[in-house]
Amino acid sequence: MPRSADRALPNRPLRLLGGAAITLSIAALMAVLFWTILEAAEAQPLSAASSIDIPWLLWITSLQAALSTSISLVVGVAIAWALNRLHFPGRGLLAGLFASAIVTPGIVVAFGLLTVWGRSGWLSRVSEVWFGAPLDLPIFGLGGVVAAHVILDGAFAATILLNRLNSIPLERLKTGQSLGLSARTRFEIIDWPVIRSSLPGLGAIIFLLAFTSFPIVLLLGGGPSVQTLEVAIYSAVRLDFDLNAAVLLAVLQIGLCSAIILLAAAAPAVPVSVAQRSPLRWRDRGWATPLQGLVLLAATAGFGLPLAALLIDGLSDAVQLLESPSFWRALGTSLAIGLASAILTLVLAVTLAAARAASSLKFFRIGLGVPAYAYLAVPAVALSLGAFLFIRNLGIAPGAVAPLVVIVANTLLALPFGMATLSPAFDSVVRTRGRLMRSLGLSGSKQFMLVEWPLLGRDFGTVFALAFCFSLGDLGVIALFGTQDFVTLPLLMLRAFSAYRGTDAAAIAAVVLILAVAAFTVLPLMFERLSHARAR
Amino acid sequence: MLRFFAFAFAVLSSIAFATAQEPRTLTIYTYDAFAADYGPGPILKPAFEKICGCQLNFVAADSSIGALRRVQLEGTTTDADIILGLDTSLAGEARATGLFAPHTLALDKLNLAWADADFVPVDYGYFAFVYDKRKVPNPPASFEALIAMPESFKIVLEDPRSDTTGLGLVLWIKAAYGERAADIWKGLKPHIRTVTRGWSDAYYGIFLKGEADMVLSYTTSPAVHAVTENDPNYGATTFNQGAYPQIEIAGMLKTSSNQDLAKQFLAWLVTPEAQAIIPTTNWMYPVAPVGDALPSAFGDLPERVLSLDEAAITANKAAWIEEALAAIR
C-alpha cells in the first residue's frame, strides 16, 4: 500500500485482526437477533396498513434529536473549556457530578429537573417569595425534552472533552503562554483541534440517544405531539403484537441511525499530540475568566441542581431502605454486573480503538466504527424480543442466562461511549508518535505498555467508570426473561415506585447517583495513578 | 443373582422415593411488580405452597402483556401453567389466542358478579383522578366539569399504548360517551400537562412533584397515602358519568401439564385467605370478603359502574386509542 500515511503507522496485524473479530461478532449477533424476530414475524399474517404517520414521526424525532445534539455539543464544549481553565476546590467533584448525569436513569434526572425548574420547584418557590408570583416555565413540550437531553448528554460531552483538553502536552501550552495568546486564539489554535477530533463520535452518540429516547420524551413531551419512533415500535410489539410492523419501523430507525453512524465513523483521524495531564495552570486573560465562571455557574444551576435535588430528596429518608435486605441484594447484583460489564467494555473498546488507529484505510476504519454503535440504533423492545427468542431457540432456559445476557447487553450499550472516548485518543497517539515507534521497532505490546497505557490511562478510567455506571442495572433487554429473582438497583427503584413507595425509590435513585459520582471521581484518577506507576 | 435383584430393588425404590419426594411445580407468569419485592407474590407463594405441598414459581415479565406475549412466543413449549395479571381490557384478545382452558370453578360467592368461563378475577379497582385536597378543595365531579376548569388546571395521563391505566381512560371515556368520545378528548387537551410512559412516571414524576393538579390513577390510591404514610390529604374523583373498572384476571393454559394444581391455585386465589393479602400489597379491592384486611381508608365502592362489551374492545381498541391520541395531538 503505497499510501504516504501508512509509512507513519506501525504495522500491527494482530490489532487489526482483533478489531475485525470483535466487529464481525457484534455484526453477527445483531444479524442473528434480527433474523429470529423476522422468523417469528413470518408466522404472523401481514398486518393491515398501520395508522402511524411515519413521515411526521421521523421529522419530529429527527428535529428533536438534531436540536438535542447540537445544543449538547455546544454546552459540552463550553463546560469543558471552563473546567479546564478554572481551578477551585471541589472542581473534581463537580466534574464527577456532571459526568454522572448520563448514567443515572434518564427518567430520574427528569424528575430532578422538575424538582428544580418545575411549577412547584425550587426556583418557582424562590420567585414566589421574592416577586410574589410562581415561575411557570414551559418545561413541557419540545423545549423540555431537549433541555433534559442537554442535561444528560451535554454534561457527558463535557466529561469526554475535558479529558481531551487535559491531555494537551505541556510544551504546547508553554509555547502558547510565552507567545501570549489571547483567550480566543488559544482556544482556536490549541483547544479546537483536540476538541474537533472527539466531536463526530460524541455527536453520533448523542443523536442516537436522543433519537431513541423513550421515557423522557413521553414524560416531558407534553402529549402525543412530541414522540419518537421507539414508542410506535413498542406499541406495535407489545400492544398489537404486530411483529411485521415492528420490524418495518425498526428497519426505518436503524436505517436513519446508520446514516448518522456512518457520517461519524467516516470522520478522519485528527493528528493531535497528547500527553499525561500537565501541571501547568495557565489562566486566560480579560473577558474569558469571568465568562468561564458564568458558564460554570449556569451549568451548576441547570445541571448540578437537579442532581443535587435527587440527592436531597432521596437521602432524607434513606434509613429505612438501608434496613431492607432486598436493597443490599440489589446493590450486590448491580455492583457485580457493573464490574463485569466494565471489564468487558474496556477490553472491547481498547481493542477496537487500537485497531482503528492502526489503519488508515477509510473502509476499514468505517467498518470498525459502525458495529460499535449498532446497539444504540436498534429499538430496545426489538432487542429484548430478539434476545428472548434467540436464547429460547438455543434451548436454554432464559432465566438461567439472564445475568450473562444483561452483561453482554450493557457492554454493547457502553461500547459506543468507550469508542467515542478512546478512538480519538488512540488515533492521536499513533498519528503523532507512529514514526518514532516504527523507527524504534517497538512491538505491539511494548507500544501499549510504554506509550499508550501511560498516556491514556486516565481515559481508560473514564471508560471503565462509564461502563460500570451504565451497567448498574438497565434490564430492558431481559424484559421477557423472568426478572422476579433478579434485582438491580434501578429495577428495585421501579418496583418501589409501582408499589407506592416513593421515598424508597427516591433513596435508591440517590444511591445510584452517589455510586456514579464516586465512580467518575475515583476511577479515572485511580487508572491514571496505575498507568503512571507502571510507566516508571 | 440375588444381589442383582437387591441392587435393582434399591435403585428402583430410590427412584420411586425420589419422585414421591420431588414436589410438583406450578409456574405462574405475571408482571414484575406482582411477583417481586413489595408485591403480593412473595406472600402468596409460601401460603399456597403450605396448602398444596407443591412448589410455586412466579416468572415475571416486565408487564402482564409481556407475560402473555412470552407465552404466545413459546407456544406449546411454554412452562407456564397460569398467566396472572392481565386485565379486562385485554381479556378478549387473550381469549382469542385460544391458549386458555376453562377454569370450571363456581365463582358465585365473590364480591363482584362473575360469569367468565376462562378467567378468574384476582383483584379490581376503578380508574379515577387523584388530587391533593389541600390544593384542589373542589374537585370536578364530571368530565364536563373538568373540561370547564380554567386552563391552568392541569392533569397528567399515561400513554394508552404503553400503560394499562392510560388504556383504561380511553375505555372509560368511550364507555361514557360513545360517539362523542373524541369531543371529550379535545376538551381535555388544554388541561393535559403531559402523557407519560407509565403510571409511576405520572404519579411520582409529575403529580407528587406538583406539576399537575390531578393524575389518572385509581380510586384506591388515596388509601395508600392514608394507610402507609398516615396522610389523609389525598382524594379521588367521583364522576357522575360512572366509574370504569379494571379487573385483573388469571387463567390457566391448555398446554399446562398441571391442570389440577393450576385449578387448585385459582380456586384458592379467590378465597378470603388469599384475598386478604391483596389490599395492602397490590392496593386493589379484593374479590372476596376479607373483613378487617380491607382498610377502611379504601372507602365506598362507586355507585355507578360502566362497562364495555369485550368483543367491541377487542375489535376497536386500536381505533379508539388512535381517536384519543389524534384528538389531543
pLDDT tens by residue, A415-469: 988 988 888 888 888 888 878 888 888 887 888 888 888 888 888 998 999 889 8
Q: Where is mean pLDDT largest: A257-261, A467-471, B260-264?
A: B260-264
Give the chain B residue whose CA is nearest to the CA of A236.
B161
Q: Residue A515 corresponds to which cell in the numbers above?
A: 455510586
Backbone φ and ψ of B29, nearest 5°: -85, 135
Report helix, strand or coil for B285: strand
- Chain A contact set for B161 (CB, 8 A): 231, 234-235, 239
Nearest CA of chain A to the CA of B2: how many Å? 43
pLDDT at A4: 43
Tell if the CB–CB gap between B205 and A483 is shorter than 8 Å: no
Mean pLDDT computed over A354-371: 84
Shortest CA distance to A447 belongs to which of A459, A458, A460, A436?
A436
For residue A239, give the nearest of B64, B172, B58 by alpha carbon: B64
Beta strand B82-87 with B25-31: parallel, antiparallel or unpaired? parallel
Pick the closest to residue A504 from A514, A494, A513 (CA basis): A494
Q: Which residues of chain B lie closer than 8 angstroms to A498, CB-CB? A: 33, 38, 199-200
Helix (H, G, I), strand (E, B) or coil at B35: helix
Print burial letters for A295-309: b (CB count within 10 Å at least 16), e (below 16): bbeebbebbbbbbbb
Q: Judged by CB atoms within 8 Å, which residues 154-183 of B form the interface with A?
A: 159, 161-162
> Residue A145 and residue B174: Cα distance in Å, rounded?
31
Interface of B with A in 234-263 (CB under 8 A): none
pLDDT tier at B227, thresholds 50, 70, 90: very high
The cell numbers describing A145, all together, are 425534552
Instruction: List b or e across A381-392, with b for residues whose CB sees 16 or more CB atoms inside 10 angstroms.
Output: bbbbbbbbbbbb
A479/B61 CB distance under 8 A = yes
User: Which chain A residues are Cβ-neighbours of B59 within 8 angstroms?
Assistant: 399, 482, 484
pLDDT recorded at residue B252: 96
Q: Count of A–B CB contacts within 8 Å?
A: 155
DSSP A232-279: HHHIIIIIS--HHHHHHHHHHHHHHHHHHHHHHHTSPPP-----SPP-
Q: Which residue among A388, A392, A484 places its CB closest to the CB of B32?
A: A484
* Contact: B36, A479; criterion CB under 8 Å: no
Question: Are B329 and A114 in contact (CB < 8 Å)?
Answer: no
- Contact between B158 and B195 (Cβ < 8 Å): yes
Asked if the Cβ–Cβ distance from A494 to B200 is below 8 Å, we say: yes
Q: Distance between CA A481 and CA A383 in Å, rounded?
A: 12
Give me the mean pLDDT over the A97-103 stretch: 79
Quick one: which H or E segment has residue B127? strand B120-132
A54 pLDDT band, cuts 50/70/90, is confident
- CB-nearest to A497 from B41, B58, B200 is B200
DSSP per residue, A60-128: HHHHHHHHHHHHHHHHHHHHHHHHHH---TTHHHHHHHHHHGGGS-HHHHHHHHHHHHSTTSHHHHHHH
Q: Which H or E run contains A343?
A: helix A325-357
Give the chain B residue nearest A221 (alpha carbons). B194
The answer to whether residue A288 scores a pLDDT higher than 70 is yes
The complex's ipTM? Answer: 0.82
Query: What pLDDT is recorded for position A232?
Result: 81
Instruction: Kindly list the distances between the CA atom of residue A237 and the CA atoms of A234, A379, B65, B321, in Å, as whole numbers in the listed order.
Output: 5, 11, 10, 16
Shortest CA distance to A505 belongs to which of B296, B198, B84, B232? B198
Nearest to B197 among A215, A222, A389 (CB): A215
Which tops the pLDDT comparison, A52 or A233? Answer: A233
pTM confidence score: 0.85
Confidence of residue A1 (pLDDT cuts 50, 70, 90): very low
Q: Is pLDDT of A272 > 80? A: no
Instruction: Give the pLDDT score at A473.
Output: 63
B32/A114 touch (CB, cutoff 8 Å), yes or no: no
Using CB atoms, which residue from B37, B69, B196 is nearest to A495? B37
C-alpha cell at A78: 463550553
| Interval B92-129: pLDDT, tens | 999 999 999 999 999 988 999 999 999 999 999 999 99
Query: What pLDDT is stored for residue A52 in this prediction?
Result: 63
Task: Name which of A500, A497, A327 is nearest B228 in CA terms.
Answer: A500
Please answer yes or no on whether B38 and A496 come within 8 Å at the CB atom: yes
Q: What is the pLDDT of residues B269-303, one digit of tens each?
A: 999 999 999 999 999 999 999 999 999 999 889 98
Confidence of residue B221 (pLDDT cuts 50, 70, 90): very high
User: Could you tell me how many residues make up chain A?
Assistant: 536
All three cell numbers of A471: 451497567
Q: Between chains, do B159 and A221 touch, taking CB under 8 Å as contact?
A: no
Angle, helices A106-117 vs A122-131, to 10°: value is 0
| Spatial distance between the Cα atoms of B161 and A434, rounded to a whole number of angstroms | 55
- For B201, which of A140, A219, A240 is closest by C-beta distance? A219
**What is the least distance, in Å, from the CA of B157 to any CA of chain A?**
9
Do the chains contact at A214 and B208, CB–CB below 8 Å? no
Q: What pLDDT, on a 0 to 100 scale, did the predictor assign at position A74?
A: 96
| Amino acid code (one letter) for B111 | N
Left (φ > 0), alpha (ψ -120 to 50) or beta: where does B155 sit?
A: beta
Looking at residue A286, what DSSP letter applies?
T
Most confident range (mean pLDDT) of A296-300, B37-41, B214-218 is: B214-218
* Residue B204 touches partner A, C-beta closer than 8 Å: yes
| B58 contacts A224? CB cut-off 8 A | no
pLDDT of residue B21: 57
Indicate the pLDDT class of residue B183, thresholds 50, 70 and 90: very high
Q: Is B63 on the interface with A (CB under 8 A)?
A: yes
In the predicted model, is pLDDT for residue B311 greater than 80? yes
Percent of chain A with pLDDT over 70: 95
The total of other beta-carbon atoms located within 10 Å of residue B124's CB is 22
Give CA–CA dist A437/B175, Å, rounded: 76
Residue B60 has pLDDT above 60, yes or no: yes
C-alpha cell at A342: 466494565
Residues of B in contact with A221 (CB under 8 A): 194-195
In this complex, the residue of B33, B74, B208 whose CB is nearest that of residue A499 is B33
CB contact (8 A) between residue B328 and residue A497 = no
CA dist A529 and A523 (Å) reads 10
Name the residue facing B210 among A119, A218, A225 (closest C-beta): A119
Spatial neighbors of B235 by CB under 8 A, at least 6 apart, are B130, B131, B132, B133, B136, B139, B222
Please tell me which residue, B54 or A117, carries the higher pLDDT value. Answer: B54
Determine the distance in angstroms separating the CA of A340 from the nearest CA of chain B, rounded to an integer. 24
CA distance A115 to A415: 32
Q: Minimal Cα–Cα distance from B66 to chain A, Å?
A: 6
Q: Which three cell numbers stand for residue A395?
A: 434451548
d(CA B130, CA B128): 6
- As a whole number, mean pLDDT of residues A309-336 equals 87
Report the C-alpha gap between A265 and A64 in whole angstroms. 22
Cross-chain residue pair B32–A239, CB shorter than 8 Å = no
Cα of B39 to nearest chain A Cα, Å: 7
Grid cell at residue A263: 457520517
Chain B residue numbers touching A481 (CB-CB < 8 A): 61
Q: Average the pLDDT over B224-233 and give the result.
A: 93
Using an 8 Å CB-CB cutoff, list chain B residues near A492. Answer: 37
Sign of CA dihedral A273, A277, A282, A284: positive
Residue type, A436: L
Q: DSSP labels for A443-465?
A: -HHHIIIIIIHHHHHHHHHHHHH
pLDDT band at A2 (very low <50, low <70, confident <90, very high): very low
d(CA B60, CA A481): 8
- Please tell me the predicted confidence (pLDDT) of residue A48: 54
The 3-state secondary structure of A346-406, one letter per residue: HHHHHHHHHHHHCCCCHHHHHHHHHHHHHHHHCCHHHHHHHHHHHHHHCCCCHHHHHHHHH
